Amino acid sequence: MIRDGMEILPLLAFINLTKYLSLESRSALCGWLISWVVRINFKIKRRIIQNLDLTMPNKTKSEKKQFLRRLGQFVGITFAELIFNSEFQKNINQFNYSSSDLEPLLEAKNEGRPIIIVSAHIGPWEAIRAILKLHNLTAGAIYKKNKNQFYETLHLKAIKCGGEPIFPTGLSGTKSMVKYLQTGGIVAVMLDQAAMDGEFFDFLGVRAKTSTSIAKIALKLNALVVPSYAIRSEKNQTINIYFEKPIRHTTYKEMTRTLTKSIEKRVMCNPEQWYWLHRRWKY
């Protein structure tokens, strides 16, 4: 408990010291701080470089240095937006999207059909749920419980701002999610992390264990599966949100491969906005 308290102190200090600043100012400051941490923390820096060397071996030392700076900045901004998610959800004027892309989702909801939104830890992903909520398509989500009990409280509260119910990872959480989907519910999931019980699919040119449970659940429940991403514009404060065409129901392997390639394409187009701190290729 003491260790948890010590670890959360910098975040609590940041929240209290910046509470009178605008969300934009807090996010920019957090981006600068995290960018600095990423470049001086040996453990974090090594993990990112190892992932880059594995997938982008031709990057020069200078390019990696610049990459670390920009990656840290994006991670910091997104982290601040998540912590202050109740405010972030209201920044609809900064979100750019095509309402026509939502038509398959609205049609499925009217039919009472389950909907699974598949995304990744790239860009300000909570913007996706903000847009869904705006159109009466409030989506629940899956989350991984944090080891730090104090941060867990903040983290869970922040995620709930984007929509409920929230399901913890694991067997019990999956069962609850399936029951919710069976009622015509909408759930947003991330499919870009290593899954010990998954199967190998190519991701950024390297085999990576990927969860196949989403595709299996979709086939079992006849759920609509839509890949969606939020990408931050580097020129201004605009966040572009994309709802891709629904994934065709085939086999669970083919559907998982299609979803993985969709995520891969977004990462390749916006590599600095993806969360490279994950141990994506640890299995």
- From first CA to last CA, the distance across the chain in angstroms is 31
The model's pLDDT over 191-243, given as tens digits with 9 standing for 90+, comes to 999 999 999 999 999 999 999 999 999 999 999 999 999 999 977 689 999 99
Segment holding 109, helix H or strand E = helix 103-111
Q: Is the separation of the CB atoms in 96 and 239 below 8 Å?
A: yes
Rounded to 5°, the CA angle 119-75-22 comes to 105
The model's pLDDT over 52-79, given as tens digits with 9 standing for 90+, comes to 999 999 999 999 999 999 999 999 999 9
